[in-house]
Structure 1
């Protein structure tokens, strides 16, 4: 390690010591998720024979960099992203190992691998979450007096299997279905003593985006089979959660107070970590896993949005190339990616000011 890298490393260690632990944990979580995303691009690019010039975590000037056999590995000063720079990704290159000279399917696999690795991380973290903490299923253990559930005739021992014709297996599934309904009546499918029936129930609003029907549910410790099965259910829940959040955002049911940028995410994670750690090490681990799942799934989905400069935008160009049998003009594609990047930077600035504004509310 040269003197510059040594000084930067010492500066980084000093910052870690000075900055509150919860903030450090938030940045580490975000950096880890970005690392997994970029590693997806990196490993598939390597397997496809693509020359990777730099693998970086963070943006802006380099803090630390190490020369590998053929790739530069770096940590940059702004912990808000990262990149896997491949030769010929945004320009024509003659080298046979350049991105632009590989088959369209190799390039599609390389681009798609980033979001895919985020989803793989979500699945593994979901399994770990269920394995450590168990799960709360949809078997009713008790019904509170004078609540929508009691008025609908629900009883202890009933199992909720579907809500509005969507299968549910976890308590979170029920909560999400009620949030999505926004106080409107929802149809519950119930199994009692082997018989199935439905009830139309209108949830009570407890506070903003929080509804209840007045039931207590059963928490279970998981066996090995349960861990895999309910880990898959947990993954499904987060997929639905992410899609529902996007739908409610674009429909106006969520407002800008419900949207967080990088500063808001760091604040949310640090507050969640402090709350979790107040209940001991297991509480801290639960909050860390929750935020890894939440942020990783959102990062994977957002990157698949077909906007130039994002993975989704690049995939659209590659799919068009595969259909046409020839690539789109490189200069035109590069310009569109530049415009997309500029729009993303403008969005980041908006989210930054939105975070600051929300802190004042």
Structure 2
């Protein structure tokens, strides 16, 4: 049960911050965001704040921000249609009642002759009971359809995604992966502040109780000046010398409390792959500071980004096989193992997953954020957007292939449990 909770919280947080990036920058650009959703499928919880409905859906496999203009508008007013109109204090239409007009006795009912609810914002028609007198009504910038008792905000073209500049649209899409990188950066900073971070200095960190370092007389905080007369300046230098001398006595020259001590020690041997290395039972030195934690956060984020990109490069070149990928099932299994190691490793795992989610979403593949950014790049070069219908077909095919890949990877994950 703890693993289930950890998985839901971690995956939910990654998706939440990813979609939050899209939402914040879309709203800053003036785009009407109809829904902010975590998960897919039927709604299990929802509430509305300002213009946006916030929902949690049944299948926790992702999320989305539904922006006006991205999909065909759900309601269209056509000539000959009977609608009810309600007005604000300025005499502009602020509600267009599509059905159940009898529930709004104060509404003005007209037969629509023409309607433009995107650009010129007007609706004209013949009022019920009038003698063929055509009337034209101005529609307010913020107005709503009323259908089946539910109010749905009308999106003028100025509030639609396509109306924004190329830069605003690109930023609204790029903001999702960006938030994943920022989340990982923040997590690494928090871990650095709370747990400390490894520093590359020749200083003894925490010693294991059963290691040869304790038996030899080394202590945490000892500053290593030299090993066998060879000076060392970093922790990496210390590790390299120790690993090269399994079962061979070496002498540490350390500084402790103003004194210089020579301490002989014989590293234990440990088989790692085909190589035998020396170990003495000591951890790398750790420091705690706010500024250092920020640097640590940036370094860790960059290091893991580089590591993941290297792995993706191997996948492209065939050095990394498809069955080595993991889907939700594999991630759940890995989360189970990490959760048993404690909250520190669980948070680090969340940071790594966040970076992974950000990078994968930036791949130039249809249906991913990177695919959309690729279309924007083509638009920038051509000087005009690609036909939306053609782009939509490409993204649909890409999404279908992505789901197929997800099924294959998930099946591989399930099979691993029975091997």
The structure-2 alpha-carbon separation of the partners of 1:66 and 1:346, relative to structure 1 and needing over 3 Å to count, comes to same
Other-structure match for 2:309:
243
CA RMSD of aligned residues (A): 3.1
Q: Please point out which of 174, 184, 202 is paired with 1:122.
A: 184
Q: Please point out which of 244, 256, 261 is paired with 2:327.
A: 261
Q: Please point out which of 205, 210, 223 is paired with 2:289.
A: 223
The structure-2 alpha-carbon separation of the partners of 1:247 and 1:161, relative to structure 1 and needing over 3 Å to count, comes to farther
Work out the CA distance in 1 between the residues paired with 2:355 and 2:323. 21
Larger Rg: 2
| Maintained 8 Å contact 2:199/2:287 | no
SS, match of residue 199 in structure 2:
strand
| Maintained 8 Å contact 2:301/2:355 | no
The structure-2 alpha-carbon separation of the partners of 1:90 and 1:140, relative to structure 1 and needing over 3 Å to count, comes to farther
Other-structure match for 1:150:
none
The structure-2 alpha-carbon separation of the partners of 1:351 and 1:302, relative to structure 1 and needing over 3 Å to count, comes to same
The structure-2 alpha-carbon separation of the partners of 1:342 and 1:240, relative to structure 1 and needing over 3 Å to count, comes to same
Work out the CA distance in 1 between the residues paired with 2:65 and 2:41. 14
Q: Please point out which of 108, 112, 118 is paired with 2:170.
A: 108
Work out the CA distance in 2 between the residues paired with 1:212 and 1:77. 51
Q: Please point out which of 393, 399, 402 is paired with 1:335.
A: 393
| Maintained 8 Å contact 1:22/1:270 | yes
User: What's the CA shift for 1:206?
Assistant: 2.4
User: What's the CA shift for 1:45?
Assistant: 0.5
- More strand as a share of residues: 2
SS, match of residue 65 in structure 1:
strand
Length, aligned pairs only: 287
Work out the CA distance in 1 between the residues paired with 2:300 and 2:346. 16
Q: Please point out which of 7, 15, 20 is paired with 1:39.
A: 20
- More helix as a share of residues: 1
| Maintained 8 Å contact 1:23/1:267 | no
User: What's the CA shift for 1:160?
Assistant: 6.5
Work out the CA distance in 2 between the residues paired with 1:323 and 1:235. 32
Q: Please point out which of 154, 159, 182 is paired with 2:234.
A: 159
- 1:51 aligns to 2:32 (yes or no): yes
| Maintained 8 Å contact 1:34/1:57 | yes
The structure-2 alpha-carbon separation of the partners of 1:322 and 1:205, relative to structure 1 and needing over 3 Å to count, comes to farther
- 1:79 aligns to 2:60 (yes or no): yes
Cα offsets for 1:31-86 (capped at 9, x unmatched): 11100000000000011100111110011221112233321111111111000110
Gapped runs of 5+ residues in structure 2? 74-116, 119-155, 205-211, 213-227, 241-269
The structure-2 alpha-carbon separation of the partners of 1:29 and 1:293, relative to structure 1 and needing over 3 Å to count, comes to same
| Maintained 8 Å contact 2:235/2:284 | no
The structure-2 alpha-carbon separation of the partners of 1:248 and 1:48, relative to structure 1 and needing over 3 Å to count, comes to same
- Structure with the larger RCO, 1 or 2 (CA within 8 Å, 6+ apart): 1
Q: Please point out which of 42, 50, 57 is paired with 1:61.
A: 42
Other-structure match for 1:272:
338
Other-structure match for 1:99:
161
| Maintained 8 Å contact 2:177/2:362 | yes
TM-score, normalization by structure 1: 0.72
Other-structure match for 2:416:
358
Other-structure match for 1:4:
none
Cα offsets for 1:272-322 (capped at 9, x unmatched): 11x12xxxxxx32x1231122111000000000001110001011112112
